Structure 1
């Protein structure tokens, strides 16, 4: 019986030893698993952090670009609103104060207007002063007495931008010339004598008109 008890004790001890070893193995395995899980979580955490930083950077760049684009569009809108608020610019002047072309560089003064939107044309000086900068179209129409001549030019700030020669051989004659040109705000445009002589003279009556006109076609 003593031997049997001893055998049983030995068996129990061996079983306990096996259980202890199994527990130890399990704890080691659990520790490894926990370490692996922790490392994986740290890696995932780092990856998530990098993605967050990348997202923040991209978001900030997008926000700045969008803000810049919005500000640019607002500026364009304000400029467009300003342009839409501008009154129309146009003039149509007629009836010459003096039709003798006997003075070089003399400015033709059309002393009456049918149209003077924006009040850019001055009937006392013959000068058109651009109220706003933009693309303008100008047109000059003049008539000469038969056997008389006229040499005229369209001038922007002392620079000829168009010229015309009109000869009334055998009859009263009329001709036209003009230009489309960009004019800055405050610049002046006028019609000027380019050649003079006692035989150079313009003519006007109920059938013939000398006119000078201009219109702002685009800002």
Structure 2
């Protein structure tokens, strides 16, 4: 190889080495840039994560604070609601008691005890149209029965029940009728050829205060009354309406 050729070879080799070093440097430079970018991204991601955590914590704190404030604001309302509930319960109890008392008062007022029972006719015989007068009074609640006239006058309006029981001797008639303000509403006639017998008559009547009920003779009558037989006239208020 001539000297000239050797020189040219040396120049070519040197040029090749320079090119190789430049390429390697360029590759290393790009790798370093990528690594720097990755590191930068990791830092940014970390910052974002920290910010997200901080924001989440701030949001949680704000929510917790608002909840606490709402609870504090509701405490007076809850106390008012509790007191109102107690007041309502008290008023309901008072109302129930008053209703019970009122109902009891109404029931007591609507159903007074009005009843009478009389016996022992003042006469042993009567003619048609005469009034049976029972002179002995065993019961007279409400003072409706008059033992002098034989009349019962209703102290209160309502539904009444009346009953008459009379006895006759042998060969005698006993005839009675319950009369409501001059209206004959129930009748009974009893005759016994021998010995004696008794008969009863009953009536349910709606009466207004002041109306009268009595017993009248509807046929010539003879009473029999002794220790085994008793003539009676009785009545009772079943239900008050006025």
What interval of TM-score do these two structures reach, taking the shorter chain for normalisation? 0.5 to 0.7
User: Over alpha carbons, which structure has the higher Rg?
Assistant: 2
Structure number with higher helix proportion: 2
TM-score norm. by structure 2 comes to: 0.54
Contact 2:137–2:147 (CA under 8 A) maintained in structure 1: no
**Number of aligned pairs?**
196
| Among candidates 89, 105, 113, match of residue 136 of structure 2 | 113
2:121 maps to which residue? 95
**Distance in 2 between the 1:43 and 1:24 partners?**
28
1:202 aligns with 2:219: no
Q: Does the residue aligned with 1:36 lie in a helix, a strand or coil?
A: helix
The 1-side partners of 2:185 and 2:53 are apart by: 100
Q: Does the aligned pair in 2 maintain the 1:143–1:174 contact within 8 Å? A: yes
Distance 1:94 1:142 in 2: 10
- Distance change (3 Å), C-alpha of 1:192 and 1:205: closer
Structure 1 residues 150-169: aligned runs within 5 Å = 150-157=174-181, 162-169=186-193
Shift of 1:139: 3.1
* Alpha-carbon distance between aligned partners in 2 of 1:174 and 1:37, rounded to the nearest angstrom: 97
- Consecutive unaligned residues of structure 2, counting only runs of 5 or more, are 1-46
* 1:212 maps to 2:233: yes
User: What CA RMSD, in Å, does the superposition of the two structures yield over aligned residues?
Assistant: 4.9
Shift of 1:161: 5.4
1:43-73 C-alpha deviation (Å, 9 max, x unpaired): 7679889877876776565444322211012
2:62 to 17, 26, 35: 35
Distance 1:183 1:59, change over 3 A: farther
TM-aligned CA distance change 1:184 to 1:173, over 3 Å: same
* 1:141 to 1:43, Cα distance in 2 relative to 1, 3 A: same
Instruction: Return closer, same or farther for 1:188/1:65 CA change in 2, 3 Å cut-off.
Output: farther
Deviating more after overlay: 21-30 vs 59-68 = 21-30
